[in-house]
Amino acid sequence: MSTTTQPTTTVGKAATFVESRVGASVLVREFGRKIFPAHWSFMLGEVALYSFVIVVLSGTFLTFFFHPAMGELHYEGPWVPLRGVEISEAYNSTLAISFEVRGGLFIRQMHHWGALLFVAALSIHMLRVFFTGAFRRPRELNWVVGVLLVMMGMAAGFTGYSLPDDLLSGNGLRIIDGILKSLPLVGTYISFFLFGGEFPGIDIVSRLYTLHIMIVPALLIALIGVHLVFVVVHKHTQYPGAGNTEKNVVGEPVMPTFAAKGGGFFFLIFGLLSFISALFTINPIWNYGPYDPSPVSAGTQPDWYIGWADGFLRIVPGWLEFYIAGWPISLNINSAVIIMGGVFGAMFIYPFFESWLLKDKREHHILDRPRNNPTRTAIGVAGIVFYCNMWAAASGDIVAVFFQMSLNDMIYIFRALFFLGPILAYFITKRMCLGLQRKDREIALHGRETAQIIRLPHGEFLERHEALPPHKLWKLTAFESPIYTPAEPNAEGKITGLEKFRARLSRFFFEDRVAPVSKHELEASHHEHDSAEGGGHKEIGY
């Protein structure tokens, strides 16, 4: 670096030392004033990132005390109810972390609560991205990375859940063993290789530990890195609004404002998780006892993000298992794998599907308001209903007890809603979006209701409407509404079968639409008012 000015202060000397060895000025120049748009919904991804950092920090602490081994010993610790009971080293060390390591229970609870928050924030962030169309070109690949992150988040959670070797986690593993064994042809082998022989064996905890503290977090960190690099490359999306265009990003600079807010937000999340971990018990393994294949507690629940898969396992009827010459096809169990694969598969392809359906290959940096893309919003809500129905089914027994209903009736309801729920949700949401769009149209065309009633000279009463300020009018009118595009011939002049299919889907999805107000319409509407209302019109703003 050039040494035109000799630094005199300590900070200046340190900066010169770093600069002449790292060349950090390039980075500061490039990123120091990079603009990030501010909106509460853009913080959801930050919540996920920060809770991940907290989970890594707390998890690292736990590794110093946890023994991932299944050798048996007799418990001799302070927890009286288990004294003398034969338990595994993993369970013993988890009890020691909880009761003997100072701050251990706090950090263990923070690790668990943080993991729950991590997956929750990932999921809600993903919904935000979906409903605002932030996955569109050029961000399709980052959406794919995001789906992988959700999958890895679930994997991290599940492998961790199984480590303490308590009764609940053992039963969770037993269910996994059953799911693996049901796989055609290879199931028994996969189960024997995973567990090192027959269930439960003595290997599973140490194997899951390797996955949980090395492989899955390494993948998560790599994917998060890619995810963030993409955010920098693409620059952030922004909501439609006055001054926001497809060619700019309006917001606050990284240094100092965004950095201060983001860094502060990290500590807010840290504080929140500390508060929860100080006051709310999670996974009290000392109450469950060590894993034993014979007992089980009624009303057991998996961690929330596994619930949808567990719920699906509960509502599938047993007759879906059948035999071909004695070889079983256990669709009553395999279908859970198929459903999970289908849900993630649908998420992977959605950006490409939507671009194909709309014949829209353009870049989009301005987000959609969810109502302005009724079809996508309806598909998303149908997906949420599909998911939540399965999720609720995982608590079907508890719900049935709470409402004093027959458990069997509950499951029949979940089965019916499995098919009907998403369909109803689709049509209801679409109609709601179209209704909201019509409301927006009304407001854009006729202005805001002022609640001022005016009596005209000939006795008629009118409510005064006030014209919208330009930035509000822009927000209500500046969007593109997806439209039915009929089948078009390709370069050879032929309309392919696929194109016909696309056109049919396009008609189904986009035939019903509310067109955005155009300037022309707005002017025509004003003109109409002018001519229709005669004398009093001058006082009536639009």
Partner 1 sequence: MTSKEHSGGGSQLEELNGFTNPGLVEHVPRLSDGDPKADRVAERQVAAWFIASMIGTIWFIVSYFLFVPGESMSSIRLHNTSVGLGAALAMFSLGAGAVLWAKNLMSDHEGIDERHDISGSEEDQAVALEILHQAKEESGIARRPLLRNTLIAALAIAPLPAVLVFRDLGPLPGDMMFHTLWDKGVRLIRDPGGIPSADSERPIKAEDVTIGSAYHVLPSGIGADDGPDRPINEKAKAAVLLMRINPNELKEDPARKDWSHDGIVAYSKICTHVGCPVALYEHQTHHLLCPCHQSTFDVTEHCKVIFGPAKRPLPQLPITVDSEGYLVAQSDFAEPVGPTFWEINHP
Interface stretch with partner 1, choices 274-282, 349-357, 374-382, 429-437 (CB under 8 A): 274-282
Residue 9, Ramachandran bin (φ over 0: left; ψ between -120 and 50: alpha; else beta): beta
Which residue in the set 7, 253, 536, 541 belongs to the binding site for partner 1 (CB under 8 A)? 253
Q: Which of 473, 469, 470 is nearest to 442 (CA)?
A: 473
Does position 100 interact with partner 1 (CB under 8 A)? The reply is yes
- For partner 1, the closer CB: 92 or 123: 92
Q: Which of 76, 86, 449, 512 binds partner 1 (CB under 8 A)?
A: 86
On whether the CB atoms of residues 449 and 439 are closer than 8 A, the answer is: no
| Residues linked to residue 35 through DSSP beta bridges, in sequence order | 253
- 147-166 residues near partner 1, rule: CB under 8 A: none
Q: Is 541 in the site for partner 1 (CB under 8 A)?
A: no
For residue 317, give the 3-state DSSP assignment: coil
Stretch that binds partner 1, among 23-31, 435-443, 514-522, 534-542 (CB under 8 A): 514-522
x-marked contacts with partner 1 along 403-442 as a string, rule CB under 8 A: ----xx--x-------------------------------
Coil vs helix vs strand at 314: helix
Q: Which of 23, 197, 342, 489 binds partner 1 (CB under 8 A)?
A: 197
3-state secondary structure of 306: helix
Asked whether position 538 contacts partner 1 by CB under 8 A, the answer is no
In angstroms, rounded to a whole number, what is the distance separating the alpha carbons of residues 383 and 127?
10
Q: Which amino acid is at 439?
A: K
CB nearer to partner 1: give 123 or 277: 277
Cis peptide before 184 (omega within 30 of 0): no
Number of residues this chain uses to bind partner 1 (CB under 8 A): 127
- In angstroms, the Cα distances linking 71 to 67, 99, 203, 250, 494 are 10, 21, 10, 59, 69
> What length does the chain have?
542
CA 519 – CA 527 distance, rounded (Å) = 12
Least distance from C-beta 85 to partner 1, angstroms? Answer: 7
Under rule CB under 8 A, residue 448 binds partner 1 = no
Residue 76 binds partner 1 (CB under 8 A): no
CB of 41 to partner 1, least distance (A): 17
- The residue range among 18-26, 197-205, 371-379, 494-502 that interacts with partner 1, by the rule CB under 8 A, is 197-205
Decide: is 517 part of the binding site for partner 1 (CB under 8 A): yes
Q: Is 396 in the site for partner 1 (CB under 8 A)?
A: yes
CA distance 274 to 280: 10
- Confirm if 132 and 373 have CB atoms less than 8 A apart: no
420 forms beta bridges with: none
Phi then psi for residue 504, to 5 deg, are: -65, -45
- Site membership for partner 1, residue 328 (CB under 8 A): yes
Binding to partner 1, residues 457-476 (CB under 8 A): 470-471, 473-474
Q: Which is nearer to partner 1, 384 or 473 (CB)?
A: 473
Binding to partner 1 (CB under 8 A): which residues in 339-368? Answer: 363, 365
